Structure 1
């Protein structure tokens, strides 16, 4: 995935490092050349100096070819302009924004732009929305380290024990909705057609859960 991050503050730099570590193509934009010091010496992604709300800067940073843009500058108004430009002008498929003032969240929501608050939680949440948007949590705990996620079970897993989804310390099956009724599964409960399962999952294990849901277990 090619991700353009506007803002190299605490959130932007931490997210850039995390995504680059996962081998994504990360481009960073910040108006302050010195902000690059927040990135580690080995960070290989391009760093573009300029205001992220400038279309010229965004185009130089490759917004037209980006799969996602994350606006996490120090100003809510700037983030809104950047996110809106990316979404409406350049049709970037995934656009996310950080918000410092919770009262501004509704502005983003009205434009269909997911926005998140709080520095520690934002890195987890933005990362999740970028890479695991099909596994949206119903509830998060702490600073987003543990999530409750509901997902339909693929038809090819019908008849297999739900316990096969569980990984000690990472993933736990806590509930299954079957035929409109919610039940707490036993260790021997098997998946049935059209089951919707609730998982308690560590935020760092979303990729593993997705792997369980995308392919047959054990392959």
Structure 2
């Protein structure tokens, strides 16, 4: 597959080198020719100096043959514009844009452009390392409204069906890690001591839901 990457900063250069090492062809676009030094001397892909949403620049980068386009420059507006051009004008199937402002991510998702909201993602990763207990965020949708978290479940839930956890906390159990193995829940599956439970929940309910699961079920002494 041919990849076109807009932006040769730390993310873009790392992505380009990784993709090439996996056997794909790559073209990297950047307005600053000096940025291509990040690619290293062994990089064999194309280096195209120009603006990533310019028609001629994209053609020079091989956009007509591209199966994937990534806009990972330092500018939100440039990234989303370039991604839309790649998707809508050149019919590239796989397109993604890096967005610093998480508030914009939902809008761009509605336009059909998958986004990576780097500020939100980075905050989640830092939090995972700062908070040893409680819910650990594993995924957050671009709008920030839905999260997948690994959460502590009180031992009082042992033997109770996972559906009871879902009903009590208003969550959906995505999967369970049991004895080091991931398991997709089946009908009637019960929580066992030692299980690590991963749930999908609305962000606005995250605190309440995890607090309910971390406590004994109602009625237990």
What's the TM-score, normalizing by structure 2?
0.58
2:73 alignment partner, SS class: coil
Q: Could you tell me how far 1:94 is from its partner in structure 2? A: 0.2
Q: Is the 8 A contact 1:176 1:182 kept in 2?
A: no
1:45-101 Cα distance to aligned partner (Å, 9 max, x none): 111110001011101111111000000111111111100011111110100010112
Structure 1 residues 182 and 10, CA gap change in structure 2 (3 angstroms): farther
Cα distance between partner residues in 2 of 1:184 and 1:3: 44
Closer, same or farther: CA 63–182 of 1 in aligned 2, 3 Å: farther
Question: 1:93 is matched with which residue?
Answer: 93
Aligned position for 1:175: 183
Q: What is the rounded CA distance, in whole Å, between the counterparts of 2:118 and 2:32 in structure 1? A: 22
Q: Distance in 1 between matches of 2:53 and 2:64?
A: 14
Q: After superposition, give the CA deviation of every residue in 1:117-171 in whole Å (9 maximum; x if it has no partner).
A: 338x69xxxxxxxxxxxxxxx9349xxxxx99xxxxxxxxxxxxxxxxxxxxxxx
Please state how far the C-alpha of 1:183 moved relative to its aligned partner: 5.1
Partner of 2:16: 16
Tell me what 1:139 maps to: 138
* 2:138 aligned counterpart, secondary structure: strand
Post-superposition offset of 1:175: 2.2
1:63 maps to which residue?
A: 63
> Counterpart of 1:35?
35
* Contact 1:176-1:183 within 8 A present in 2 as well: no
5+ long unaligned stretches in structure 2? 123-136, 141-147, 150-179, 193-197, 199-221
Q: Which residue of 2 aligns with 1:135?
A: none
Task: Decide whether aligned partners of structure 1 residues 66 and 183 sit closer, same or farther in structure 2, where only a CA change above 3 A counts.
Answer: farther
Unpaired runs of 5+ residues, structure 1, are 123-137, 142-146, 149-171, 186-197, 199-219
Matching residue of 1:114:
114
Higher radius of gyration, 1 or 2: 2
For residues 183 and 22 of structure 1, the distance between their equivalents in structure 2, rounded to whole angstroms, comes to 42
Give RMSD over aligned pairs: 3.2
Aligned equivalent of 2:173: none
Contact kept? 1:175, 1:182, Cα under 8 Å: no
Question: TM-score scaled by structure 1?
Answer: 0.58
Aligned length: 147
Query: Separation in 2 of the partners of 1:105 and 1:22?
Result: 29
